[in-house]
Amino acid sequence: MHKRFQMLRRGLAAGLASSLLLLAGQANATSIVKKTLDEMVSQVDRIVVGEVVATDTAWNLANADGDVVYTTATLHVERSLKGQDAAENITIFGPGGRLDGVETMVPGAPALGQNGQRMVVFLWDNVEGQYMSNVAYWGQGQYLINEQGIVERTGQSEADFVRHLENRITHLSE
């Protein structure tokens, strides 16, 4: 009986391992290389501080499967730190969101937030249709500001973080 149990256990383990290998072979993945703040400051087209004033979700029909939910957010620009002065409102976009009872979550994608969410965002210009998001380096190019005025990823006050960015922009453009 003991020998039969060992054989059954080995068979189950082998079957489970085979199933996991098959699933791993079918997985799609994207890797985002971590960028330093200086790299992002020097490489992006624009950096703005703003507040989300509207969001919308839609199916990404350009996707081969046609089953990815995309979110667009209208960001009211309060301050432009780098690049041409932004219009009063700009649109940022990225994969993820909830639509028709389906939720798409994409790890690492920018969190486009809800109305009232404030953020500092690093942007690419003229990318619609070329990339999955105009927020540079996905979530790395987005710094959410909480209700207390603290930049969540750095723990700095918004004023200190913006001042730091302005210093980096000046230094890197010399």
Domain ranges of the chain: 37-173
Flag whether the pTM goes above 0.85.
no
Cα 5 from Cα 13, distance rounded (Å): 12
H or E, element range at 11: helix 2-26
Number of Cβ within 10 Å of residue 82's Cβ equals: 19
pLDDT of 35-63, one tens digit each? Answer: 999 999 999 999 999 999 999 998 876 65
Of 117, 95, 108, the closest CA to residue 140 belongs to 108
CATH 3.40.800.20 fits 37-173, yes or no: no
What string of pLDDT tens digits covers the 174 residues of the chain?
445 444 444 443 344 433 333 334 344 556 778 999 999 999 999 999 999 999 999 887 665 566 778 899 999 999 999 987 767 898 888 888 888 888 888 888 888 878 999 999 999 886 654 456 789 898 899 999 999 999 999 999 999 999 999 999 999 988
H or E, element range at 46: strand 46-59
Cα 74 from Cα 52, distance rounded (Å): 6
Max CA pair span of the chain = 79
